[in-house]
Structure 1
Amino acid sequence: MPNTAYVLSDVHGHLPCLLTALEMIDIDSDEGASLILLGDYIDRGAQSAEVLYTIKAVADQWPNRVIALLGNHEVDFLDWMSGNDEDVFWPLQDLGFVTIGSLLTTDQMQRILGNRVELPTDVDGLTMINRAVKDAIKMNHPALLAWLNRLPLYYETSEQIFVHAGVNEQAGENWRSQTPDLTFTHKFPASVGTFSKTIIAGHIGTSSMHPDGSHGVFFDGASHYYIDGSIERTDTLNILKYTAATSHYEYLTATVQTQHQASAGMDDSLSRFPTEIMSRMEITGVDAALGDGPRKVSNRPAQNQLGTQA
């Protein structure tokens, strides 16, 4: 495992926070750093497609140092994409069509949905729109869909398990073979206590675990770190940092003033975005969100110490 690992989770379509976090980590200049993303890149925020393309670009640029995992939102989306056209569960959850809207062009949205703010209730109408939306997504994003379908459910080191939701801890050392796929991405409630490896997960908002309802990284004092900071309510993305030399964990936060801003500080690697995606990005600047302070994680003054693993 590289000298330093940074972990993000539950971006949920909030591109500004993701770009701010990537600027803080600055994996390009830190050759000993790796980045692990725990899933739930889409839904809730307005820039799901942009978030996916950003993560794909970073993973493509550093294939040996960036690991992206699937979350339950990606699994549900992919199941919908490959399922029957009569299955409209996923689009019915996409309130305001925010995720669909990020994956379709403006013309496609108008042609398929018109001025609708919700889907029709009759089966034939639902099926027709569902099919048209899926066809448009497949046409617009074939490489992105292929990449999503290749993402793993967990990543393991000699000491840690990185996963979106969790594993079957009752299986002990046999957790790999005895954890159902849906447990990796949908497990609820959160497990706490001692396990054979440290488990680092997202999925469940940490405010439900902290007695004071705060949103920072939660450590149970034994074998579990949870990092989902409920970005849709806080406009904040938790960054868990692990230093291998000392087995030490700490966390930082990437915060922006508004989720409706995006960044002009995009790396050249992001120039691979399809023209339609790029044309919809509102470019305003990461520097304003970061302030005048240094961008390197190691230089950030407000780090939260989480302790050293035994």
Structure 2
Amino acid sequence: MKARFHAFEPEMIEGPVYACGDIHGRLDLLEEFLAWVAEDAQGPASVVFLGDYIDRGPHSRQVIEKLIAGPSRRGERWYPIKGNHEAMMVAAWRYHTDFHIRNWMVCGASATLRSYGTGNIRSIPESHIRFLEDLPLGLDDGERLYVHAGVRPGVPLWRQLEHDLLWIREPFLSEAHGIERVVVHGHTPEFWPIVLPQRVGLDIGGYRTGSIAGARFDLLVPEARLWIGSQTYTINNLNL
């Protein structure tokens, strides 16, 4: 299979940027996060969803429908990006081979199928598949790179592989990546958000813990505000 590189063009964003960790079928937690954004921003804001909207939790279909509908609050823009679970669901639906279906099923697909009211993958509307298929692999705001899994250390931003952006753990988690961006990501669940000078990890396994993590970032400000449930925390060691 030919390697697929992904190049990022910085997005011109005004106002704060809010990032949401992995949702995994928890519509209730997504609604809590969006309520915090509305209360905290009190004006225009951009919201980046870091992927893995489906599987494991009970409301995958409803989460997708929420993302397709988009924001209802005036001045709010949403940037959902693709996670590895969305890639697996699309591949299973498109190719419908035992290999692709089995790969998806072992990663929590049965919960997604139940949210559609059936165990038949063909019950998933093609409009949902197209939405997930067309999701971008990340967002670059000029200071931070938002991707699902991370980046390959030592590889220029313009030569990052799609597979790494969706799936990488090591060596990204333990090595300096060398990219002139703070990488904000999900994918690897931790007990608590990981905040290091070059990366912020926001996956805290919400589908099983009952909490998802979010963060607020402001341009030209080398700190962020973390949100977990009803609590907020300020962090200030980002390497901008």
Q: Same fold (TM over 0.5)?
A: yes
Q: Are residue 206 (structure 1) and residue 170 (structure 2) matched?
A: no
Residue of structure 2 aligned with 1:159, choices 143, 154, 163: 143
Instruction: Name the residue aligned to 1:227.
Output: 202
Q: Structure 1 residues 235, 192: CA separation in 2 closer, same or farther (over 3 Å shift)?
A: farther
1:262-296, Cα deviation, whole Å (9 max, x unpaired)? xxxxxxxxxxxxxxxxxxxxxxxxxxxxxxxxxxx
Instruction: Name the residue aligned to 2:221.
Output: 246
Note if contact 1:169-1:175 (Cα within 8 Å) is conserved in structure 2.
Answer: no
Note if contact 1:27-1:34 (Cα within 8 Å) is conserved in structure 2.
Answer: no
Q: Are residue 89 (structure 1) and residue 102 (structure 2) matched?
A: yes
1:57-104, Cα deviation, whole Å (9 max, x unpaired)? 12598798210000010011111111143333145326582111112x
Matches for 1:67-106 after TM superposition, within 5 Å: 67-87=79-99, 88-90=101-103, 92-93=105-106, 97-103=110-116, 105=117
Q: Are residue 50 (structure 1) and residue 59 (structure 2) matched?
A: no
Q: Give the superposition deviation at 1:37.
A: 0.4
Q: Which amino acid aligns with 2:137?
A: L
Instruction: Name the residue aligned to 1:122.
Output: none
1:214-258, Cα deviation, whole Å (9 max, x unpaired)? x2x2112x2111110111231001111112253321201136xxx
Q: Structure 1 residues 218, 158: CA separation in 2 closer, same or farther (over 3 Å shift)?
A: same
Q: Are residue 135 (structure 1) and residue 117 (structure 2) matched?
A: no
Q: Give the superposition deviation at 1:135.
A: 2.5
Residue of structure 2 aligned with 1:145, choices 113, 118, 129: 129
Structure 2: give runs of 5+ residues left out of the alignment: 1-12
Distance 1:252 1:48 in 2: 22
Instruction: Name the residue aligned to 1:26.
Output: 38
Q: Which has the higher helix share?
A: 1
Q: Give the superposition deviation at 1:167.
A: 1.5
Q: Structure 1 residues 308, 94: CA separation in 2 closer, same or farther (over 3 Å shift)?
A: closer
TM-score normalised over the length of structure 2: 0.83
Q: Which amino acid aligns with 2:152?
A: N
Q: Which has the greater radius of gyration?
A: 1
TM-score normalised over the length of structure 1: 0.65
Residue of structure 2 aligned with 1:303, choices 228, 232, 240: 232
The count of residues paired between Structure 1 and Structure 2 equals: 223
Q: Are residue 175 (structure 1) and residue 187 (structure 2) matched?
A: no
CA RMSD of aligned residues (A): 2.5
1:167-196, Cα deviation, whole Å (9 max, x unpaired)? 22211xx322x2221100100122443541
Distance 1:160 1:224 in 2: 9
1:124-158, Cα deviation, whole Å (9 max, x unpaired)? xxxxxxxxx23222xxx232222111100011121
Q: Give the superposition deviation at 1:45.
A: 0.4
Q: Which amino acid aligns with 2:205?
A: S
Q: Which amino acid aligns with 1:200?
A: V
Note if contact 1:38-1:163 (Cα within 8 Å) is conserved in structure 2.
Answer: yes
Q: Structure 1 residues 203, 91: CA separation in 2 closer, same or farther (over 3 Å shift)?
A: closer
Structure 1: give runs of 5+ residues left out of the alignment: 114-132, 208-214, 256-301
Q: Structure 1 residues 186, 96: CA separation in 2 closer, same or farther (over 3 Å shift)?
A: closer
Distance 1:242 1:163 in 2: 15
Instruction: Name the residue aligned to 2:10.
Output: none
